[in-house]
Amino acid sequence: MRIVCVGGARPNFVKIAPLIRAFDRAGIRTFLVHTGQHYDYALSEAFFRELKIPRPDSFLRVGSGTHAEMTAKVMMGMERVLLKTRPTGVVVVGDVNSTLAAALVASKLGIPVAHVEAGLRSFDSSMPEEINRRLTDAVSDLLFTTCREADRNLLDESVSRSRIFFVGNAMIDSLLTHLPEARARAVWERFGLPPRSYATITMHRPSNVDDPRRLREVVGMLERIQSRIPSILPAHPRTIRALRKSGLLRRFSSRDSSRKPQLIEPLGYLDFISLLSEAKAVVTDSGGIQEECAVLGVPCLTVRPNTERSITQWAGANRLVSEKPVEVLAALDEILRGRRVVLRRPPLWDGRTAERIASILQREWGNAK
């Protein structure tokens, strides 16, 4: 059995890393495709090294562009790869454009597709990721879910129960594997901060950074967060571009730096998990960070009107707050006053998801011609 694994952005590879190890242990040959949708391999090599991912067998160099341009480039590249490799099946992860593009090409070539992280729904079609999730699930043969709610979403869409497999969360496999090494880095010390004395912030969603008026509101909110607790903002390249274009970047380099969050370059996987693990609070619009906080037990405020990962709210660590700064700050104040919540780890988020996926693939695809 030979499987093509496809990733296009750094969050994809956090999920692919444990899959490749589990496939290797199970005797499944893997052909790894890096589409280069967000990151050139040369720039993300340290990330691969930290997660112990082998060098990609194929690098498509798709680069940036519109959604249509990226999707089309990935489809063209993936068609060449799949016609050459003729794999038993294709495994796609997450919800980026590369995920959908690879699934579409494989499906049209008659190659079985497995979607890892299937069934997540925000029910907000203004999010490109929501469209990618729905369409990828529609053409996939095997749907691996992170929670029972995802199962129900798929069943509500008339997906056959025989195609749905509740396996847990592959991202958490990586987190639990690398957490001791990450914590040992004590990244917070680089900023002169003791553990649990700071906030970690990430902001990169188009709804928060693309509109200059909204971005100005977000920057004001970040300044007010800093007035309550020292804050560190590893800035996504999209965020930096938006800040520079709007003229707001200089506000982070003013003389009175004590009023501004520390704006830093994006961190590698281990450094970021280190910073995340000992934060007093997290303010984010990311999907994966919500899941990591649910296992780390770090209070997370998600600045979005919805989330496809509502299981993290059940787990107790994540709270969905509106995009209004006054509500974000009120929720943060509750955390700083010591608001206590009951923390629960979601079922099967135990570090063995990749093993379960490998076992199912052996059973379902092991006899394929």
User: For residue 15, what is the enclosing H or E element?
Assistant: helix 10-25
Instruction: Tell me if 62 sits within 8 A of 35, measured CB to CB.
Output: yes
User: For residue 16, what is the enclosing H or E element?
Assistant: helix 10-25
Residue appearing with tokens 């000992």: 278
User: For residue 149, what is the enclosing H or E element?
Assistant: helix 148-156
Burial class from Cβ neighbours inside 10 Å (0-12, 13-18, 19+) for residue 71 reads buried
Phi, psi of 270 (to 5 degrees): -65, -40
CB atoms within 10 A of CB 227: 11
**One of 38, 115, 204, 236 is an active-site residue; which one?**
204
Residue 308 CA to residue 205 CA, distance in Å, equals 14
Instruction: Tell me if 118 sits within 8 A of 154, measured CB to CB.
Output: yes
Instruction: Tell me if 169 sits within 8 A of 146, measured CB to CB.
Output: yes
Residue appearing with tokens 């969360």: 169
User: Checking DSSP bridges between strand 281-284 and strand 89-93, what pairing results, if any?
Assistant: unpaired
Q: Which residues pair with 284 in a beta bridge?
A: 302
Residue 250 CA to residue 178 CA, distance in Å, equals 36
DSSP 189-258: GGGT--TTSSEEE----HHHHTSHHHHHHHHHHHHHHHTTS-EEEE--HHHHHHHHHHT-GGGGGSS-GG
The question of whether 204 is a catalytic residue gets the answer: yes
CB atoms within 10 A of CB 249: 17
Instruction: Tell me if 331 sits within 8 A of 301, measured CB to CB.
Output: yes
Residue 222 CA to residue 180 CA, distance in Å, equals 30
Active site amino acids: 204
